[in-house]
Amino acid sequence: MDDEQTGFYLQPWIDRARAVQRLVGLVDLERIANHDVAEFKKLAKVSRAMNSLCIENDNPVSGVNHTEEALTLDEHQMKRSELVKALDDAGYSDRLGRIYISNFDDPIRPLDLIPHIQGLPEFDVCMAPEHSPPDGAQGIFISERGVFAAFIPEPAIRHKWRILRSRPYDDLAELLTTVRRFAALPTE
């Protein structure tokens, strides 16, 4: 099917979507939240109009309706899920998605406190170690290829993340060994 034919078949759906969007735009949701009777009446009319637009095709829509069977995970999502479960089973669940920031009384903080991830390679999971050098933040980042510890000095807005050390892994056991070593307090 060429682009012109595709456009011909899609146009009725685009027109219908625009009509629904226009109808929804006619309703003032703030007035409804404030229990405005006139706006409730308008909402009822808009609802009936939208129902009539939808009657023509009332079948579930693949990838949109939640009544379908559970979605299947791709290979990368499966590996990430196994990784998170292994870290959780190893006792790191309270550190997942977090970093260690040295200048807080409670130093384990969400990664998004740092305003950017510049300098970090792609990663699937982040977790907080048990320490950080003074005046900065440190995290352990895990991807399908390896584990790396990274640090960002204060003020984070002026600096990029720096990789302190990294190590590839072949299986979950090797990954957990590396994570334990990277997460532990340095011994003197």
Cα-flanking dihedrals φ and ψ of residue 39, to 5°?
A: -70, -35
Closest alpha carbon to 137 in 162, 119, 170, 166? 162
**Better-predicted residue by pLDDT, 141 or 185:** 141
Residue range 61-95, pLDDT digits in tens: 444 444 444 556 678 888 888 888 999 999 998 99
Tokens 């640090």, located at residue: 151
pLDDT number for residue 131: 87
Q: What is the largest CA-CA distance in the chain?
A: 74
Element (H, E) at 86: helix 75-89
Residue 106 has pLDDT above 60, yes or no: yes
- pLDDT digit string, tens, across residues 92-105: 989 999 999 988 88
Assign 9 a pLDDT band (cuts: 50, 70, 90).
Answer: low
54/136: higher pLDDT? 136
pTM attached to this predicted model: 0.60
Identify how many contiguous H helices and E strands the chain contains and give both numbers: 5, 6
Which residues have C-beta within 8 Å of that of residue 102, sequence separation ≥ 6? 132, 133, 134, 135, 136, 137
Residue with the larger pLDDT of the pair 30 and 66: 30
Per the CB < 8 A criterion, the answer to whether 151 and 140 are in contact is no
Q: Encode pLDDT of 155-168 as tens digits.
A: 988 999 999 999 99
